[in-house]
Amino acid sequence: MAVKKRVMFLCTGNSVRSQMAEGFARHLGGEKWEVHSAGLEPAGVNPRAVEVMKEVGIDISGQSSKPIDPELLRSADLVVTLCGDARDRCPVTPPHVRRLHWALPDPARAEGTEEEIMAVFRRVRDGIRELVGELLKEVDS
């Protein structure tokens, strides 16, 4: 049995972007990946994130917003930050841990009508789906 690659997605609140990335990585990565997400200041999973992920057939309603587990961070193969704050404030990782940063806007800060806000959530979701898909292809090849 192959050893699973361990990936951790980090954001400040672990409420939207990192939750979506966790959902996509679990869905697309199958049994090859051990997937986690965490936040510097966990703020609960955003209901709009749950809703837009459900639109693409992925249920993240059972995921929870968690603080960073230092042991998990040290044992990860890959850490992906999804906001500048997490990139800048993420604890130091050992040299063997590959780090990536995906600069994505925070849909939780979107303003406007509900329709306009949901459009931002969908754009970010679709960007994350593309990035996770590319990452899985790269690492699995």
- Give the per-residue pLDDT at 141: 60
| DSSP code at position 109 | G
Which residue ranges of the chain lie beneath pLDDT 50?
none
Please check whether residue 80 is in contact with residue 135, taking contact to mean a CB–CB distance below 8 angstroms: yes
Helix (H, G, I), strand (E, B) or coil at 76: coil
Residues 6+ apart with CB under 8 A from 96: 77
- Residues labelled as active-site residues: 11, 83, 90
- Give the per-residue pLDDT at 55: 98
- Give the per-residue pLDDT at 1: 52
pLDDT, tens only, 39-57:
999 999 999 999 999 999 9
- Give the per-residue pLDDT at 42: 93
pLDDT, tens only, 83-103:
888 888 877 788 899 999 999
Tokens (6 digits) for 79: 């850490």
Please check whether residue 58 is in contact with residue 28, taking contact to mean a CB–CB distance below 8 angstroms: no
- Give the per-residue pLDDT at 93: 84
CA distance 82 to 29: 18
